[in-house]
Amino acid sequence: MTDNKYNLGFFPTPLHPLSNLSQEYPDYNIFIKRDDQTGLASGGNKTRKLEYLIKEAIDNGYKIVFTAGAQQSNHCRQTAAACALAGLECHLIVRGTEPKTYQGNLLLSHILGAKIHFTGNDDKEIDIESFNHRIAKGEKKFIIPFGGSNIIGALGYVEAVKELKNQLTNLHLNIDYIFFASSSGGTQAGLILGLELYQLKTTLIPIKIDKDETYGLELEEAILKIVKEGTELLNIQREYSIADISVNKNYNKAAYGVLTDNERTAINIMAINEGILLDPVYTGRAFYGMLSFLKEKKLKAKSNILFWHTGGLPALFDYASGLKTI
């Protein structure tokens, strides 16, 4: 099942220690998984999901792909790149009105040949179906949900657990905790399924990025829905309930995409200690959450901690003035 994909990235992504940060926090050994290095037009976690989604589109004869998101959506940028590679026509429905200058992900999506449509308002929910009727009328379109988060996309993170397990086996390493940014839920759903399927024991600490729910569903409910579909598809015997899905909601007080001192601090600490760039929307927020856990000594002493870097670099450039004050 998990071999049924269209190759878009370079895998395995590197897994390596963060030695300087581990010295700063001597109670812990800190590692990073570099999904910012998947290779697809500056990388990120959507590459893994798109390998399964694009395969599904091609296998079912689609020539046109639709997806939606914020103007600085990493998902939209990687979808544009994936479609370019696979020879599919890509339409992106993005929030807001067209800016005078394109920057960050929006600029890259444009360069990658996507046709970009602006909703004209900042409503979080985008009715992709209404665009479906207006653009390329009568043609079949493959619609990818926000963030590529459905069971097909989540398979990318089921397979990522297999990849991680192989790396850990080779390094004779156990990871006690995995921190990552959770937003539309596909990454988390895939990781939950992968940990069960490949019997890897570790604790997930997903940091919730968004303040609001999406499409009327709490994030936990959205994740549970994907996980339930996954247990059927992958023949996993375990029954999941909402109590099995945890998300940490201590760091999402500012709305989605709002840069605060938390993200600035996290971006700065990772950059000056390890020479690694985080992003202002997702990984900056998630890594701030992880730093708080380390400072407050909330984790078992001597434990091995992994930060799963999910990408987002291009968005830095759209936050130039907010980041100048670091």
H helices of 60-185, in order, are 74-86, 104-111, 128-134, 151-171
Residue 73 bears catalytic tag: yes
> Which amino acid does the sequence have at 111?
I
Binding of residue 74 to ligand PLP (CB under 6 A): yes
Q: Which is nearer to ligand PLP, 147 or 230 (CB)?
A: 147
Closest distance of CB 136 from ligand PLP, Å: 26
Binding of residue 75 to ligand PLP (CB under 6 A): yes
Q: Specify the stretch interacting with ligand PLP by CB under 6 A; choose among 126-134, 235-243, 293-301, 308-316.
A: 308-316
Binding of residue 43 to ligand PLP (CB under 6 A): no
Determine phi and psi for 204, rounding to 5 degrees.
Answer: -85, 135
**Size of interface with ligand PLP, in residues (CB under 6 A):** 20
Binding of residue 283 to ligand PLP (CB under 6 A): yes
CB 252 within 8 A of CB 219: no
- The helix (H) or strand (E) run that includes residue 325 is none
Q: Which is nearer to ligand PLP, 181 or 305 (CB)?
A: 181
Binding of residue 231 to ligand PLP (CB under 6 A): no
Q: Which residue in the list 73, 109, 149, 184 is annotated as catalytic?
A: 73
Give the number of other CB atoms < 10 A from CB of residue 169.
10
Binding of residue 44 to ligand PLP (CB under 6 A): yes
Distance of CA 246 to the CA centre of its chain: 17
The DSSP bridge pattern shows strands 115-118 and 89-94 to be parallel
Q: Which residue from 3, 5, 7 is spatially nearest to 56, judged by alpha carbons?
A: 5
Q: Which is nearer to ligand PLP, 29 or 149 (CB)?
A: 149
Q: Exposure of 87 by Cβ count < 10 A (0-12 exposed, 13-18 middle, 19+ buried)? A: exposed
57: left (phi over 0), alpha (psi -120 to 50) or beta: alpha
Q: Specify the stretch interacting with ligand PLP by CB under 6 A; choose among 17-25, 197-205, 225-233, 275-283.
A: 275-283
> Which residues in 123-162 contact ligand PLP (CB under 6 A)?
147, 149
Q: Specify the stretch interacting with ligand PLP by CB under 6 A; choose among 79-87, 122-130, 183-191, 231-239.
A: 183-191
Chain contacts with ligand PLP (rule: CB under 6 A) = 44-45, 74-75, 147, 149, 181-188, 279, 282-283, 310-312
* Catalytic sites, residue numbers: 73
